[in-house]
Amino acid sequence: MLESCLTFLASIISLRTNLGANQTRLSQLEMVTLLCMGDKTHSQLMELMPERCGTVQSKDFEAALAEVAEYRAPNLEASGNMQQGMYVPKGHVWEELYDPIHVLLRAVHRREFQNSMDRFNEYVNQTGRMRSGSSAWPPFREPAQCHEAYSDPRKILKSRVFHALVWLVLYKAVTQHTVSEHVVSLVIYLLEMAVAVTDPTDQPTQVCTVKQTTERNVNDGDLENWFESDWLSDNLRTTISSITLPAQPDVLFDTDSDDEWEEEVEASLVFGGSVEVDDPLSLDSHLMPTLGPDFSSTPAIEGVESLSALPPAAQPL
């Protein structure tokens, strides 16, 4: 759930599809997203491109394709079948244009995003920029500028609630090691965007001065009151000394069990006692037949004698 929340937050601040993005740039981004998930044929690209960004009628399709992809000619397989020609992304696509957030938006299955990350790691290993066997973090991109008619959505990161969430994730990642690397990479990216959108003139009266670090005692779950302001610089210099956890309710368990009841029954039978069973479906005592010393039941109907016991096997009937 935490990863989904951070991914959604990263999508809000980085996507510019409906914020006045340039159509040529958007068409290029959609094509790069398709190619990074897997090599495609020309017909597949035309079919999978979103309608508003590139179809048969789009004038930017061929120009964008020539800029971001190179054609791999068809070749003959060992089995004798002809392999169809495919378009593969160029090298600069992985370094400058590959956007993992946009891939997550367009991917139908999670494995498509993972496939794009595997291809990115393969390219990085081939260029010698990373040791073999290690995996790189997703190369999150700085979003493009918004249209002047809109406000930058990254301003939502200037919030004390977000700063408290970042503190929690990084604390667990460093001390408890219970946070995945993908979640840590998302938090670092969001924190970087929060720094990028911070304007020094927003707080003209608050100047970073040399002072003792502020320590605070906070309550778990009350993220809104962890910090005194939304100013990132001040919150980074605030020390959370302790977190008060809410009181846990007492849980009462019933000690009665079938084993204890069976032990009481056995003890009662051994010492000649009786066991009372509170059963609303049981018969009343005056309706129950009485048992004699020989455990023969008293006839319930008058005039009918009870049957005698069968004779021994050696005695004739």
pLDDT tens digits, residue range 1-25? 888 999 999 999 998 887 877 788 8
- Residue 138: inside a domain: no
Check pLDDT > 80 for residue 259. no
Q: Hey, what amino acid is at 125?
A: N
Q: Pick the closest to residue 237 from 261, 210, 263 (CA basis).
A: 210
Q: Is residue 134 part of a domain?
A: no
20 SS3 class: coil
Domain CATH for 62: 1.10.10
Q: How far apart are CA 124 and CA 132, in angstroms?
A: 9
Q: Domain total for the chain? A: 2
Residues 263-282 as b/e (b if ≥16 CB within 10 A, e otherwise) read eeeeeeeeeeeeeeeeeeee
Residues 112 and 44 in one domain: yes
**Distance between start and end Cα atoms, the chain:** 83
Residue 238 lies in a domain: yes
Buried/exposed code over 211-229 (b: 16+ C-beta within 10 A; e: otherwise): eeeeeeebeeeebeebbee
Asked, for residue 96, whether it belongs to a domain, the answer is yes
One domain, residues 162 and 203: yes
Name the nearest CA neighbour of 201 among 228, 231, 227, 229.
Answer: 231
- In this predicted structure, the answer to whether residue 53 has a pLDDT above a threshold of 80 is no
Domain boundary among 223, 244, 265: 244
Q: Kindly state the tokens that stand for 104.
A: 């997550």
Amino acid 54: pLDDT: 41
Supply φ then ψ for residue 223, to 5 degrees. -65, -25
Domain range for 37 is: 22-72+83-127
> Are 56 and 119 in a shared domain?
yes
The rounded distance, in Å, linking the Cα atoms of 25 and 33 is 12
- The top-scoring range by mean pLDDT among 115-119, 245-249, 293-297 is 115-119
Q: What is the pLDDT of residue 217?
A: 81
Model pLDDT, residue 140: 93
* Statement: residue 58 has pLDDT above 80: no
269 in any annotated domain:
no
Cα torsion at 119, 121, 125, 127 (round to 10°)?
Answer: 70
- Mean of per-residue pLDDT scores for the chain: 78
Q: What's the pLDDT at 212?
A: 60
Please report, for residues 22, 112, 157, 297, the alpha-carbon distance to residue 39 in angstroms, rounded to integers and kept in the order given: 25, 12, 36, 89
Range scoring the smallest mean pLDDT among 26-35, 109-118, 179-188, 233-242: 233-242
180, 211, 244 — which closes off a domain? 244
Q: Is the pLDDT of residue 200 over 70?
A: no
Report the alpha-carbon angle 278-284-285, nearest 5. 100
Residue 304: pLDDT above 70? Answer: no
Which residue's entry shows tokens 């990642």?
173
**Proportion of the chain above pLDDT 70, given as a percent:** 71
Q: Which pTM was predicted?
A: 0.69
pLDDT at 80 over 90: no
Which residues 6+ apart lie within 8 Å of 87 measured at CB? Answer: 35, 39, 40, 41, 42, 45, 65, 69, 70, 71, 72
Residues 6+ apart with CB under 8 A from 100: 113, 116, 117, 138, 139, 140
Length of the chain: 317
Per-residue CA distances from 162 to 17, 85, 100, 237, 243 (Å): 24, 48, 22, 15, 17
* Whether residue 116 is found in the same domain as residue 191: no
Query: Does 12 fall in a domain?
Result: no
pLDDT at 94 over 90: yes
Residue 315, pLDDT above cutoff 90: no
- Are 166 and 234 in a shared domain? yes
> Does pLDDT of 239 surpass 80?
yes
Query: Is the residue at 35 inside a domain?
Result: yes
pLDDT beyond 60 at 255: no
Whether residue 118 is found in the same domain as residue 195? no
If you average pLDDT over each of 101-110, 244-253, 267-276, which comes out highest? 101-110
Considering the domain architecture, whether residues 26 and 101 belong to the same structural domain is answered as yes
Amino acid letter, residue 62 = E
d(CA 201, CA 215): 26
Which among 200, 227, 244 is the end of a domain?
244
Pairing, β 238-244 against β 214-219: parallel
Q: Are residues 29 and 108 in the same domain?
A: yes
Lowest mean pLDDT among 23-27, 163-167, 180-184: 23-27
Do 55 and 105 sit in the same domain of this protein?
yes
In a domain, 112, yes or no: yes
Q: Say what the pLDDT of residue 59 is.
A: 67
Averaged pLDDT for residues 261-279: 57
